[in-house]
A and B are shown apart, each in its own frame.
Chain A
Amino acid sequence: MLGVASLTNKALRTWLHGLPGVDQVGIEARAAALATRSIKTTSKSWAIDTAIGMIDLTTLEGADTPGKVRSLCAKAQLPDPSDLGTPQVAAVCVYGDMVGIAKEALGSSGIHVAAVATAFPSGRASLAVKLADTKDAVKAGADEIDMVIDRGAFLSGDYRLVFDQIAAVKEVCARPGDAPDAHLKVILETGELATYDNVRRASWLAMLAGADFIKTSTGKVQPAATMPVTLLMLEAVRDWRELTGEMVGVKPAGGIRTSKDALRYLVMVSEIAGDDWLSPDWFRFGASSLLTDLLLQRQKLRTGAYSGADYVTID
Chain B
Amino acid sequence: MTPRFEYAPAPESRSVVDIASSYGLFIGGEFVDPADGKSFKTINPATEEKLADVSEANAADVDKAVRAARRAYDRTWSRLSGAERGKYLFRIARIMAERAREFAVLETLDNGKPIKESRDVDVPTAAAHFFYHAGWADKLDYAGLGPNPRSLGVVGQVIPWNFPLLMLAWKIAPALATGNTVVLKPAETTPLTALLFADVCRQADLPPGVVNIVTGAGATGQALIEHPDIDKIAFTGSTGVGKSIARTIAGTRKRLSLELGGKAANIVFDDAPVDQAVEGIVNGIFFNQGHVCCAGSRLLVQESVADDVIHRLQRRLQTLRVGDPLDKNTDVGAINSAAQLARITELVKAGEAEGAQRWSPECTLPERGYWFAPTVFTGVSQSHRIAQEEIFGPVLSVLTFRTPDEAVAKANNTPYGLSAGIWTDKGSRILAIADRLRAGVVWANTFNRFDPTSPFGGYKESGYGREGGRQGLAAYLDTEGTH
A residues contacting B by CB (< 8 A) are 20-23, 25-27, 29-30, 36-43, 46-47, 235, 266-267, 270-271, 275-276, 278-279
Contacts and interface: CB of A to CB of B under 8 A. Distances in A.
A266 B5 contact: yes
B229 to A, nearest CB: 46
Contacts of B319: 271
B276 A39 contact: no
A267 B6 CA distance: 10
Given A26-B280, A27-B275, A27-B276, A21 B6 contact: no
Contacts of B9: 40
B446 A26 contact: yes
Contact of A40 (B6, B272, B273, B446): B6
A275 B4 contact: yes
B53 interface: no
Given A36-B116, A276-B2, A22 B7 contact: no
Contact of B275 (A20, A41, A42, A47): A20
Interface of B: 1-10, 116, 120, 271-276, 279-280, 319, 328-329, 425, 445-446
Which of A26, A39, A270 is the most central at the interface, judged by chain B CB atoms within 10 Å of its CB? A26
B276 A36 contact: no
Given A43-B5, A46-B3, A270-B5, A21 B10 contact: no
Contacts of A27: 275-276
A43 B276 contact: no
A38 B5 contact: no
A270 B319 CA distance: 9
B2 A37 contact: no
A47 B328 CA distance: 19
Nearest to A50: B2
Nearest to B272: A20
B316 to A, nearest CB: 9
B7 A23 contact: no
Contacts of A275: 1-2, 4-5
A270 B9 CA distance: 18
Contact of B328 (A38, A43, A270): A38
Given A30-B276, A37-B329, A38-B329, A25 B446 contact: yes
Nearest to A22: B273
B276 A22 contact: yes
29 contacts: A20-B272, A20-B273, A20-B274, A20-B275, A21-B272, A21-B425, A22-B275, A23-B445, A25-B446, A26-B273, A26-B275, A26-B279, A26-B280, A26-B445, A26-B446, A27-B276, A36-B116, A36-B120, A38-B7, A40-B7, A40-B8, A43-B5, A43-B6, A43-B8, A235-B275, A270-B4, A276-B2, A278-B2, A278-B5
Contacts of A266: 5
A271 B282 CA distance: 14
Nearest to B280: A26
Nearest to A34: B319
Contacts of B272: 20-21
Q: Which 5 A-B pairs have the closest CB atoms?
A: A26-B276, A38-B10, A40-B8, A23-B276, A21-B425
A76 to B, nearest CB: 22
B7 A29 contact: no
Contacts of A40: 6-10
B339 to A, nearest CB: 31
Contacts of B446: 23, 25-26
Contacts of B6: 39-40, 42-43
B271 A36 contact: no
B279 A20 contact: no
Contacts of B274: 20
Contacts of B2: 275-276, 278-279
Which of B4, B6, B9, B275 is the most central at the interface, judged by chain A CB atoms within 10 Å of its CB? B275
Contacts of A42: 6
A25 B425 CA distance: 13
A41 B8 CA distance: 7
Nearest to A25: B446
Contacts of B4: 270, 275
A270 B3 CA distance: 10
A276 B9 CA distance: 24
A130 to B, nearest CB: 33
Given A22-B276, A38-B329, A278-B2, 8 more contacts: A21-B272, A25-B446, A26-B446, A27-B275, A38-B328, A40-B9, A41-B8, A270-B5
A303 to B, nearest CB: 21
Nearest to B319: A271
Nearest to A18: B271
Contacts of B273: 20-23, 26
A276 B4 CA distance: 9
A39 B279 CA distance: 22
A227 B40 CA distance: 48
Contacts of A20: 271-275, 425
A20 B276 CA distance: 10
Contacts of B275: 20, 22, 26-27, 30, 235
Contacts of B425: 20-21
Contacts of A23: 273, 276, 445-446
B5 A29 contact: no
A104 B425 CA distance: 53
A40 B276 CA distance: 28
Nearest to B270: A20
A29 B279 contact: yes
A278 B5 CA distance: 10
A38 B116 CA distance: 11
A39 B7 contact: yes
A235 B278 CA distance: 12
A39 B8 contact: yes
Nearest to B274: A20
Nearest to A282: B2
Contacts of B328: 36, 38
B426 to A, nearest CB: 10
Contacts of A37: 7, 329
Given A23-B445, A30-B276, A279-B2, A43 B7 contact: yes
A43 to B, nearest CB: 4
Nearest to B1: A275
Contacts of A25: 445-446
Which of B3, B120, B271, B445 is the most central at the interface, judged by chain A CB atoms within 10 Å of its CB? B3
A99 to B, nearest CB: 30
Contacts of A278: 2, 5
Contacts of B8: 38-41, 43
A271 B321 CA distance: 11
A278 B4 CA distance: 9
A37 B319 CA distance: 12
